[in-house]
Chains A and B, each alone.
Chain A
Amino acid sequence: MNIQVDNPVLEVHDLTVSYDKKPVLWDVDFTIPYGNLVGIIGPNGAGKSTLIKAIMGLVPKGSGYIKLYDDTLDSVRHKVSYVPQRESVDWDFPASVLDVVLMGRYGKNGLLKRISKKDKEIAYESLKRVNMLDFASRQISQLSGGQQQRTFLARALAQEADLYLMDEPFAGVDAATERSIVDLLLEMRKEGKTIIVVHHDLQSAIDYFDWTLLLNTRLVASGPTEKVFTTELLQETYGGKLTLLSKIGDLMKEKQFPAREK
């Protein structure tokens, strides 16, 4: 079940990504329609984070190509926002919530220009939307998990992008915060934004997402959520690794084999 769309906002074609020559994503191929809230679901180690990182150009590709807005990432960076996992950052860093949110404006003005009044206004607006306006001058070391997550979201909003890629935005967050984040994402979707979220929980996935990608090293399915959430497909996603595929991956690493013939 891999439903293709014409005129997709994101097209991933035949993507293979390897760590030290062992493939962690194998021939992944899908298209995402505009204006959807999309979930990427799969077990631990399925390569979900890697997929997002590959789309953002943070890890090298062994094969395939990726098109955003039918163009390369470099041409449309200003339209794309990336929200990394919370643990990827050291929250002891001496910075305030506002400092972090303002980072979202760096892409617009470049690194050498000073922060403008407009930048600050947009930052405050973003903080308001995530209910963190009162925390603007709070040091990030004093934030709870949910507040950290909302800070990252505010930073993403400040980028004023159209396509959002979020890596586990609900991890380690309390239920109320999760609900409020989902509401915000739905609002954004109403505004025509496309949001792609790596998510870890099956139950909530059915409620939240219009479109779902089931991933376990290879793409199991991609399509509207109700079509994709069948027992058979879920079993295939969560039913353990494909042994033969895994063995071949190990062999490729051992022999230092390239992912594609040159």
Chain B
Amino acid sequence: MWLFEQIVEFFSFQDVNIRYVALGTLLLGASSAIVGCFTFLRKKALVGDTIAHSILPGICLSFIVFKTKDPLMLLLGAMLSGWLSVYVVDYISANSKIKPDTAIGLTLSVFFGIGILLLTHIQHSGNSAQAGLDKFLFGKAASLVQNDVITFGIVSVILIGTIILFFKQFSLISFDVHFAKTIGLSVRTFEVILSTITVLAVAIGIQTVGVVLMAAMLITPAAAARFWTDKLKVMVIIAAIIGGISGIFGAFISYTAPSMPTGPWIVAVLSFIAIGSMLVAPKNGAISKIRKQNKNQRKILEDNIIKLLYKLGEKENEFFKNRSIRTLKNYREYPEKKLLKGLNILKKKNQVVLVNDLWVLTEEGKKAGMRIVRIHRLWELYLTTYLRIAPDHVHEDAETIEHIITPEMESKLEHLLDYPEKDPHSANIPYKNEKDINE
């Protein structure tokens, strides 16, 4: 009951503090996710990590030079050094044999090192005004106050506004830089704008989740969203929702256990959603792949058994005779369990009926079996004719492909091969009726 009470208390947002924290983390999560989509698509997912580690020296320098903790001044410092780091990474990889991943790791660790150097220098110099500078390192979401939320709000509006305004251009430079250049788009300018808003998102976001985890706020929602859609607009929206929800959930968990840092919980929720998406998303998810494979196995089984019945009928020139399991097994070796499973699937489709423990083909079943056999033989002919494969090598291939050919492909095959009567092994190719051949 206690947990339930907490849920009610939190989500009713009656407590002002809760409102601030929830709103703040929501905005943060959503706006980072939106910006992160573009860095993700440009395959620069780790740039977020670089910037996160690199803003610290700027903040400290700003404090040292301007002797103030005015957030705007600190932000300015953060943005400058964040921006510088992006430039340094690109410059190093473009002007030496240093590879991009090395440039990133080098820049982020050195910049961060310089940042800590300055920070500890400030801390040890006994300047009491510096207390709290280190919140940039670890993030203190639970202590968000009204001013912070207002700042988040403004920054989020700027970020989202910029993305909406330049959506087309950002899409182009993310997907096809060369094309963008050829149509005269000033790629450089838009790269700069994109970098700037990324730095801004990081500089703000770090105060909630801390340095190490900031990268996740950018990458993880985008990666999760990617599994659900191929369209950029949809991806951005899904990412924003995932980011926002994770933000609020993280805040909630931190609320129920006040000594818990919020950042890690937000990232834990994000990662859970991302990994879940990897598994579950239709079409691209891993579970969906497994489901497809199972479906294929079922189809292969039922096709093979109906084909078996048809061919038995063809051989004995009598299709609708009662057949025992033993007869079937004699004709083609099959584990009995599988045989029964397949026969039951066929029974449901009315392609066979069960009469006193014996199985009989129906008219429907005969048509279905005939179709598989026809496709098999047509495909064998296709392989020998167009792929020039030896006749004694085509059977296995046809055994597989016969299950996958659609009716549309079937008519293409018939047409391509000009309605042949015999397959490469001189077996008849059965057509539904004479009409088909003359179509």
A247 beta carbon closer than 8 Å to chain B: yes
The one of A14, A26, A244 that contacts B409, using a Cβ cutoff of 8 Å: A244
Please measure, in the bound complex, the distance between the C-alpha atom of A40 and the C-alpha atom of B316, giving whole angstroms: 48
Number of A-B contacts (CB under 8 A): 71
Residue numbers in A under 8 Å from B416 (CB-CB): 244
- Do A29 and B389 have beta carbons less than 8 Å apart? yes
A255 beta carbon closer than 8 Å to chain B: yes
Residue numbers in B under 8 Å from A251 (CB-CB): 404, 406
Please measure, in the bound complex, the distance between the C-alpha atom of A219 and the C-alpha atom of B401, giving whole angstroms: 18
- Do A244 and B296 have beta carbons less than 8 Å apart? no
The one of B289, B382, B383 that contacts A256, using a Cβ cutoff of 8 Å: B289
Residues 385-412 of B, flagged 1 when their CB comes within 8 A of A and 0 if not, give: 0111110011011011101111001001
- Do A248 and B388 have beta carbons less than 8 Å apart? no
Please measure, in the bound complex, the distance between the C-alpha atom of A113 and the C-alpha atom of B406, giving whole angstroms: 58
Residue numbers in A under 8 Å from B383 (CB-CB): 27
B300 beta carbon closer than 8 Å to chain A: yes
A22 to chain B, nearest CB (A): 12
B293 beta carbon closer than 8 Å to chain A: yes
Residues 22-40 of A, flagged 1 when their CB comes within 8 A of B and 0 if not, give: 0000110100000000000
Given the interface pairs A218-B388, A219-B388, A257-B404, the reply to whether A63 lies near B396 with Cβ below 8 Å is yes
- Do B393 and A29 have beta carbons less than 8 Å apart? yes
The one of B97, B389, B404, B409 that contacts A255, using a Cβ cutoff of 8 Å: B404
Residue numbers in B under 8 Å from A242 (CB-CB): 386-387
Given the interface pairs A29-B393, A261-B399, the reply to whether A245 lies near B292 with Cβ below 8 Å is no
B413 beta carbon closer than 8 Å to chain A: yes
A213 to chain B, nearest CB (A): 12
Residue numbers in A under 8 Å from B388 (CB-CB): 1-2, 218-221
Residues 281-309 of B, flagged 1 when their CB comes within 8 A of A and 0 if not, give: 00000000100110110001000100000
- Do B400 and A259 have beta carbons less than 8 Å apart? yes
B230 to chain A, nearest CB (A): 13
Residue numbers in B under 8 Å from A252 (CB-CB): 404
Please measure, in the bound complex, the distance between the C-alpha atom of A71 and the C-alpha atom of B124, giving whole angstroms: 72
Residue numbers in B under 8 Å from A118 (CB-CB): none
- Do A261 and B97 have beta carbons less than 8 Å apart? no
Please measure, in the bound complex, the distance between the C-alpha atom of A197 and the C-alpha atom of B325, giving whole angstroms: 53
Residue numbers in B under 8 Å from A63 (CB-CB): 396-397
When C-beta atoms are compared, the residue in chain A nearest to B293 turns out to be: A256
B316 to chain A, nearest CB (A): 25
Scan residues 203-262 of chain A and give those whose CB is less than 8 A from a CB of chain B: 218-221, 242, 244-245, 247-248, 251-252, 255-261
Residue numbers in A under 8 Å from B403 (CB-CB): 257, 261
- Do B409 and A248 have beta carbons less than 8 Å apart? yes
Contact-size category for A: 20 to 34
Given the interface pairs A256-B289, A258-B293, the reply to whether A27 lies near B397 with Cβ below 8 Å is yes
A189 to chain B, nearest CB (A): 28
- Do A218 and B404 have beta carbons less than 8 Å apart? no
Given the interface pairs A244-B413, A256-B289, A256-B292, the reply to whether A29 lies near B400 with Cβ below 8 Å is no
Residue numbers in A under 8 Å from B397 (CB-CB): 14, 16, 26-27, 63
Please measure, in the bound complex, the distance between the C-alpha atom of A206 and the C-alpha atom of B182, giving whole angstroms: 40
Please measure, in the bound complex, the distance between the C-alpha atom of A26 and the C-alpha atom of B199, giving whole angstroms: 50
Interface centre among A247, A256, A258, by most B CB within 10 Å?
Answer: A256
- Do A14 and B393 have beta carbons less than 8 Å apart? yes
Residue numbers in A under 8 Å from B406 (CB-CB): 251
Please measure, in the bound complex, the distance between the C-alpha atom of A251 and the C-alpha atom of B409, giving whole angstroms: 11
Please measure, in the bound complex, the distance between the C-alpha atom of A141 and the C-alpha atom of B403, giving whole angstroms: 53
Please measure, in the bound complex, the distance between the C-alpha atom of A255 and the C-alpha atom of B396, giving whole angstroms: 19
- Do A27 and B389 have beta carbons less than 8 Å apart? yes
- Do A260 and B393 have beta carbons less than 8 Å apart? no
Residue numbers in B under 8 Å from A245 (CB-CB): 386-387
Please measure, in the bound complex, the distance between the C-alpha atom of A14 and the C-alpha atom of B293, giving whole angstroms: 23
- Do A29 and B300 have beta carbons less than 8 Å apart? no
Please measure, in the bound complex, the distance between the C-alpha atom of A217 and the C-alpha atom of B413, giving whole angstroms: 19
A169 to chain B, nearest CB (A): 25
B373 to chain A, nearest CB (A): 16
Residue numbers in A under 8 Å from B382 (CB-CB): 244
- Do B296 and A258 have beta carbons less than 8 Å apart? yes
- Do A260 and B400 have beta carbons less than 8 Å apart? yes
- Do A248 and B404 have beta carbons less than 8 Å apart? yes
B281 to chain A, nearest CB (A): 14
Residue numbers in A under 8 Å from B390 (CB-CB): 2, 29
When C-beta atoms are compared, the residue in chain B nearest to A62 turns out to be: B400
Residue numbers in B under 8 Å from A220 (CB-CB): 388
Scan residues 16-56 of chain A and give those whose CB is less than 8 A from a CB of chain B: 16, 26-27, 29
- Do B396 and A26 have beta carbons less than 8 Å apart? no
B100 to chain A, nearest CB (A): 13
B168 to chain A, nearest CB (A): 30
- Do B401 and A248 have beta carbons less than 8 Å apart? yes
A-B contact pairs, 5 of them (CB 8 A): A1-B388, A244-B409, A255-B292, A257-B400, A257-B404
Give me 15 other A-B pairs in contact (C-beta within 8 A), A219-B388, A251-B406 excluded. A14-B396, A26-B397, A27-B389, A29-B393, A141-B97, A218-B387, A218-B388, A220-B388, A244-B382, A245-B387, A255-B296, A256-B289, A257-B403, A258-B400, A261-B400
Interface residues in chain B, defined as those with a beta carbon under 8 Å from any beta carbon in chain A: 97, 289, 292-293, 295-296, 300, 304, 382-383, 386-390, 393-394, 396-397, 399-401, 403-406, 409, 412-413, 416
Interface residues in chain A, defined as those with a beta carbon under 8 Å from any beta carbon in chain B: 1-2, 14, 16, 26-27, 29, 63, 92, 141, 218-221, 242, 244-245, 247-248, 251-252, 255-261
Please provide the 8 A-B residue pairs with the shortest distance between their CB atoms, ordered closest to farther: A218-B387, A256-B292, A92-B97, A256-B289, A261-B400, A256-B293, A27-B389, A27-B397
